Structure 1
């Protein structure tokens, strides 16, 4: 995902679940979330985007966290409802977290959001 409207849809109109290393935002028509103000495809595969701010660390660290999250989400994307939009925001502890801790937090957040996990 690259469009700001898609990020805003999930972050402002979707559900949110926070964990120690990340915050997941999920918008899906299947989860009774509010109707979007912008046109969004309700069919097709689920999409994901990532927010990793400078608070997480320098560029090398941010990119490593983003790659790790991208890998974890790719393995779970097919479990989300079709047409849904997922935004994963990394928190500063994500920089020092082990891969299994990130995976646990992501699975826990997705279960909380109703997107399986």
Structure 2
């Protein structure tokens, strides 16, 4: 799997300058980290892709507390995800988050 992390979500765009966010939801900014999934045809047919998405969603749900409240995470499944167990997906996600979050905090320390 491939992870893409945006630690700070950009402000909502306004639709046509009317004061309504482009997503159509009025109110303040969304709180809490969000996750999205990309599971392409290379992973398998529709049934396999949906199964992989459900399993990834369950694995990511357990790890969202590691992310800042303003973070967006995109998880892209590779073809190997079709045959991976949930435990393998969990280990891959944890290792990927360790790497992404570790690099982010290391880059902060180097600037100080």
TM value normalised by structure 1? 0.68
The number of residue pairs the alignment matches comes to 87
Q: What does 1:73-112 correspond to in 2, within 5 Å?
A: 73-112=60-99
Larger radius of gyration: 2
The 8 Å contact of residues 52 and 90 in structure 1, kept in 2 or not, is answered as yes
- Residue 77 of structure 1 deviates from its aligned partner by 0.7
Runs of 4+ in structure 1 off by over 2 angstroms are 38-43
Give the equivalent residue in structure 1 for 2:48.
61
Check if 1:39 corresponds to 2:11: yes
Contact 1:42 1:82 in 2 (8 A): no
TM-score (norm 2): 0.71
Aligned-residue offset at 1:28: 0.6
Is the Cα contact below 8 Å between 1:42 and 1:83 reproduced in 2?
no
2:6–2:73 CA contact under 8 A, matched in 1:
yes
Give unmatched runs, 5+ long, in structure 1: 1-21, 30-35
For residues 30 and 44 of structure 2, what CA distance do their matches in structure 1 show?
36
Distance 1:42 1:73 in 2: 22
* TM-superposition CA deviations, 1:25-82 (whole Å, max 9, x none): 00113xxxxxx7x525877200000000000000000000000000000111122111
Output the CA distance in 1 between the equivalents of 2:54 and 2:30. 26
Higher share of residues assigned strand: 1
Q: Which structure 2 segments of 5+ residues have no match? A: 13-27, 103-112
